[in-house]
Homo-oligomer: A and B are copies of this chain.
Amino acid sequence: MGSTDVLGDLKTLDVFRDLSVCGQQMLECGMQLNYFDELKTIINKGNSVSGAYVVVRGRLRVYSISPSGNEATLYFINPGEVCILALNCIFNNLQYPAWVQTEPDTCVGMIPSLTYRTLFQNEPSIQNLTVHALSVLVFRLMEELEEIHSMNLNARLAKFILMRGAIDGQLRMTQSELAAHLGTTREVIAKLLRKMVAEKSVKTLRGSIVIEKLDVLAKQAGQGLLT
């Protein structure tokens, strides 16, 4: 059910194009490929990390859970990206500081810690990959922080719907999931969506949201705190 030609996927990834050791060699070095067809938590906060993670297909979601049980997405790891946090844990023998979950139809390569450390020391391309991945993550986190400080929930919701749903005009996600991404609760999302539905900028279905007026959403997403 979807496991298909993973090695094919692998070889076309940017990560590996950049490497002198290509995907095949990574596999020879001991990288294991794991396929997940549904949401599954693969790292819990406090876990020791056994290796580096490379997303081959699908997406990983890194999130935190507050003491009261609410989830909040910190960032996503897209195909071709390395879970740099895991790398950091490897290099510094730290425990992983958050939770990681697979999206449905996700394939992740796992490279044993020792292998990655060896590669890092010997391969300039791996060094560059690492620095680049870290840089991207820093930018992503800073953007997220800035967003939280300067946009209200309505604007963040509008932006999220646009970013994740604009391609096919539909965001396939339940309201609970949406709430978990934005670090709030379902009722609040429902309330905000109600307003959007009233102004006909979106339509809500069971398990998905259909974008009706892209421009209105875009305007809301750009508004931020300015009322």
Contact = CB atoms under 8 A, between A and B. Distances in A.
B183 A135 contact: no
Given A127-B127, A131-B131, A183-B149, A68 B225 contact: yes
Interface string A146-187: 101110000000000000000000000000000000010000
Interface string A134-147: 11011101111110
Nearest to A135: B88
Given A64-B150, A66-B224, A88 B139 contact: yes
B224 A92 contact: no
B135 A92 contact: yes
A151 B199 CA distance: 33
Classify the secondary structure of A's interface with B. helix
Contacts of A224: 66-68
B74 A145 contact: yes
A220 to B, nearest CB: 14
Contacts of A145: 64, 72, 74, 141, 144-145, 148
Given A88-B138, A138-B138, A139-B88, A68 B148 contact: no
Interface in A43-101: 64, 66-68, 70, 72, 74, 84-85, 88, 91-92, 97-98
Quick one: which of A85, A97, A138, A150 has the most chain B CB within 10 A?
Answer: A138
Contact of A138 (B85, B127, B183, B225): B85
A130 interface: yes
Interface of A: 64, 66-68, 70, 72, 74, 84-85, 88, 91-92, 97-98, 127, 130-131, 134-135, 137-139, 141-146, 148-150, 183, 224-226
